[in-house]
Structure 1
Amino acid sequence: MTGGTSGIGLETARQFLAEGARVAITGTNPETMDRARKELGDGVLIIRADAGDVAGQTPVAEAVAKAFGKLDILFVNAGVAEFKPLEQWDEAGLDRSISINVKGPFFLIQALLPIFSNPASVVLNTSINAHIGAPNSSVYALSKGALLTLAKTLSGELISRGIRVNAVSPGPIATPLYGELGMTESDTQAMAETKVPVGRFGQPSEVAKTIVFLASDEAAYIIGSEFTIDGGMSTL
């Protein structure tokens, strides 16, 4: 899985390990990569890779092929979330978000095609922001909406190879992201109380368990679907 050193990705790695899977994760930050190695154990393959570097996706695929031979499950999780008004965006910033959230994942899937098992499962981590039209989310929502369409189009294209593609679209989840965006604990609590019907942020484990299900044989008839995991936020 990409972006597996913190938050949803790290918890998903834990869940797959608990199911007996062999796991490979990618990351870019040496500190979080080291912490993930300590938490997950030496049996996990940790690959340093920039999710937005198109040329760098082939070495990721080669490392996975060398370690595992075949790949049963791919969770595309690495992404960037940047929120600011329309007038503050420039071309370089937009290109960075699109590269990390769309181009890199697209070419990683392409690079992995030769080693996908039959059957195999791909799960894309999108966002409810592709649906709700939140202010200051224009580029983030654009990129996640593009990724969401891949769950539909690649499903039709790859199912003949035995590859199922689905998506999860989380709402607010209790990860380090909100601190990185400058939100305090009181900010997140206020957001939960006013924006989320269940009155709280979701837990990474609640997303991770859905991903494990979508990757399992129990979801063999689920293709091109989106699972919204947002505590009802998108229903408001």
Structure 2
Amino acid sequence: MNNIHKKIINMKQGKYEGKKAVVTGGTHGIGLATVKMLLAEGAEVLLTGRNPANVEQVRRTLGDRAHAVVSDAASITDIKALGNIVREKLGNIDLLYINVGISSLTLLETVTPETYDQAFAVNTRGSYFTVQQLVPLIIRGGSIVFTTSVADNSGYAGMSVYAGTKAALRAFAKNFAAELLPKGIRVNAVSPGFIDTPTMGVTDATEAERDAFRKAGDLLTPMGRHGSPEEVAKAVLFLAFDATFTTGEELLVDGGIGQQLTPAEKLA
């Protein structure tokens, strides 16, 4: 094979050719956008979802390099089983993207112990023990990325429980970054603002509530619009593969909300 042929083959190879990734909460929204970008650039991906119908739909529409698995992040049994499935399907992995999460708009006086425990079981405990199970499979030079939220560093009525679960993930990212440094594993987080996903980030909202949430988001966001799942996915993959001298960081993907821009600054 001459050099010209080799160059042609190399040009056809995707950016993530040979990479292996696990994406939890990968059947819709930001997770699915990330999965599609990984697959488009040659990676092999195992994604999880809690809803069997959603998992089956993704399994039918994505190619052979996507392994769709039903797994409930609130179940320690499922998390342990996931570790075995990843070992069997992929072996060692380059990226673990912890994206699974649930949320609801619930004011302080209406939060119940059951809704509180469910949110922390999925978003926080599930994320923690998924990392524990899969860290042994992450290669040296690999990375972990969490999805946190602008809610973890700000205050919104009805978001106290959700914000608490995401603030815990932010703490996990910083502490895991220190703990896993000797293993050569970087740990970072993306912090989305208002993103145009099917649920608008609120799992149990009605369409009317989502529409109101969407309009409020546009008003609160200095850029004056919602972000797209693809915009967040690009940030995830930057942290995962390109930001090789970055660990313990939370990257805001929020249209400027975290910068607290004044009206005058928006117009400048």
Report the TM-score range of the alignment, normalised by the length of the smaller protein.
over 0.9
Tell whether the 8 Å contact from 2:218 to 2:226 is kept in structure 1 after alignment.
no
Q: 2:138 aligns with which of 88, 111, 116?
A: 116
Residue 159 to residue 48, structure 1, CA distance change in 2 (3 Å): same
Partner of 2:149: 127
2:27 equivalent to 1:5: yes
* Distance in 1 between residues matched to 2:218 and 2:30, nearest whole Å: 22
Distance 1:119 1:86, change over 3 A: same
Query: CA offset at residue 81 of structure 1?
Result: 0.6
2:161 is the counterpart of 1:139: yes
5+ unaligned residues in a row in structure 1: which ranges? none
Please name the residue that 1:234 is paired with: 258
Q: Distance in 2 between matches of 1:189 and 1:168?
A: 20
Tell me what 1:79 maps to: 101
Q: Gaps spanning 5+ residues in structure 2: where?
A: 1-22, 261-268
CA deviation digits over 1:65-124, x for unaligned, max 9?
101110110000010011211111121111110010010110111111221111110000
Say if 1:61 and 1:197 are closer, same or farther in 2 by CA, change over 3 A. same
More deviation, 37-46/73-82 = 37-46
Larger radius of gyration: 2
- Deviation track 1:134-180 (CA, whole Å, cap 9, x = no partner) reads 11111000000001111100000001001110000101100011375
Which stretches of structure 1, 4 residues or longer, exceed 6 Å deviation after superposition? none
1:70 and 1:23 map into 2 onto residues whose CA distance is 12
Task: Give the RMSD, CA atoms, in angstroms.
Answer: 1.5
CA distance in 2, matches of 1:165, 1:60: 20
C-alpha deviation, 1:189, in angstroms: 4.8
Q: Report the 3-state secondary structure (helix = DSSP H, G, I; strand = E; otherwise coil) of the residue aligned with 2:77.
A: coil
Partners in 2 of 1:111 and 1:5 — Cα distance? Answer: 21
Pick aligned residue for 1:224 from 240, 248, 266:
248
The one of 222, 230, 247 equivalent to 1:197 is 222
Question: Aligned runs of 1:132-171 on 2, under 5 Å?
Answer: 132-171=154-193
In 1, Cα distance between equivalents of 2:120 and 2:187: 20
Identity %: 37
Q: Structure 1 pair 183/194, CA: closer, same or farther in 2 (3 Å)?
A: farther
Match in the other structure for 1:28: 50
Q: What SS does structure 2 have at the residue aligned with 1:215? A: helix
Which of 87, 94, 102 aligns to 1:65? It is: 87
CA contact (8 A) 2:87 2:137 kept: yes
Match status 1:107 vs 2:105: no
2: CA distance, partners of 1:110 / 1:81: 23
Could you tell me which residue of structure 1 aligns to residue 17 of structure 2? none
C-alpha distance in 2, partners of 1:115/1:189? 39
For residues 23 and 29 of structure 1, the distance between their equivalents in structure 2, rounded to whole angstroms, comes to 18
Paired residues in the alignment total: 235
Displacement after TM superposition at 1:188 (Å): 4.5
For 2:257, the aligned partner's letter is M
User: Are the structure 2 counterparts of residues 93 and 67 from structure 1 closer, same or farther at C-alpha, using a change threshold of 3 Å?
Assistant: same
Q: Which amino acid aligns with 2:32?
A: L
Secondary structure of the structure 2 residue equivalent to 1:55: helix
2:120 to 98, 101, 117: 98
**Structure 1 CA distance for aligned equivalents of residues 251 and 83 of structure 2:** 27
Cα pair distance change 1:133/1:213, threshold 3 Å: same
TM-score (normalised: structure 1): 0.95
SS at match of 1:210: helix
